[in-house]
Structure 1
Amino acid sequence: MNESERDLLARLWEEHMRMPFPPNMRGREIEIEGEDMVYLDASIAIGVSSSLSEPFDVKRRDALLRCLAAVEKVLPSIDDEGGAIERYERLREMAALAVESGNDGPR
């Protein structure tokens, strides 16, 4: 990942951290297309956060690839109430950037 991609990922991460979790998804299990949306959100967040601070190993990359496939599957079915689409589109973009980074090492 080049410097501008790292900067973009860091900026998207900062925006994500400021964005509240969609109110319609809080405090309950939400499943769309067989995917637990809270778990998907947290899994991508962990992978992205890790990719910004430490070497990105194959295990993390594979986990993010699975999450990326899952978020692609659910996006068309997400109700936009509370900004959910924007949140999951941002998660998709961050996951894709982190996966592209491969194993570049610490940032």
Structure 2
Amino acid sequence: MVGVPSEGGLARVWEDHLRALFPDGFRGVDFDGVDPVLLDADVAGLVQGELKGGLDDSGIACLWGCVADLDKIVPLINEEYCASYFAKLRTMAQVAAAAYVPAAT
């Protein structure tokens, strides 16, 4: 994928994510069937798994599911910090998932 950071880039976006504060107003909120707290936790766990040696097929499927959920909810968020937080979470998930995109032949 063009423009996707390497594994070192994943570590960098992970460190940035660890410094970001989860938007308090998004606890207990539901966006079109998606719980942002659980989505954040799922992405975090999957990124940690990727950084520690990679994901199995189940983890890869879950990661792509998280990307799809983020694609669904980010456009629904109208508060600037919250939109930025979840857009960055989506970027981090995509960076982790980039290793699992088949090469074009």
**Interval containing the TM-score (normalised by the shorter chain):** 0.7 to 0.9
Alpha-carbon distance, 1:79 to partner: 2.8
Match in the other structure for 1:10: 11
Secondary structure of 2:17's match?
Answer: helix
What residue identity is the alignment partner of 2:10? L
Match in the other structure for 2:95: 97
Alpha-carbon distance, 1:23 to partner: 2.5
Q: TM-score, normalised by structure 2?
A: 0.84
Cα deviation, 1:2-34, whole Å, max 9, x if unaligned, reads xx5111111110010001111222xx4111121
RMSD: 1.6
Match in the other structure for 1:45: 44
The number of equivalent residue pairs is: 97
Distance in structure 2 (CA, Å) of the matches to 1:79 and 1:39: 20
Q: TM-score, normalised by structure 1?
A: 0.82
What residue identity is the alignment partner of 2:22? F
